[in-house]
Amino acid sequence: MERTRIQINNLKDYAELAQASYFYFDFLKDSNNIPRKIYELDFNKKKNQR
């Protein structure tokens, strides 16, 4: 019973973390309402624009 409760709490924590770390990149705009450039790293740690 206790192990199940711990697993459920861990799943809740992971879900909250996933929701907090995911946000809408489309809404990122600068003060002139121009979308900001978003970059990600590939496997060679090269910067690629999304």
Q: How many domains does the chain have?
A: 1
Calculate the CA dihedral of residues 42, 46, 30, 18 and round it to 10 degrees: 30
pLDDT at 38: 72
State pLDDT tens for residues 1-50: 899 999 999 999 888 877 766 665 556 777 787 777 777 777 787 777 76
The alpha carbon dihedral of 28, 31, 33, 38 has a sign of: negative
Look at residue 41 and tell me if it is in a domain: yes
Look at residue 31 and tell me if it is in a domain: yes
Look at residue 15 and tell me if it is in a domain: no
Task: Let me know: does 36 contact 30? Beta carbons within 8 Å.
Answer: yes
Give Rg (Cα) of the chain.
18
Look at residue 45 and tell me if it is in a domain: yes
Look at residue 46 and tell me if it is in a domain: yes
Q: What secondary structure letter does DSSP report for 36?
A: P
pTM of the full structure: 0.41
Q: Give the domain range for residue 46.
A: 24-50
Look at residue 9 and tell me if it is in a domain: no
pLDDT at 6: 93
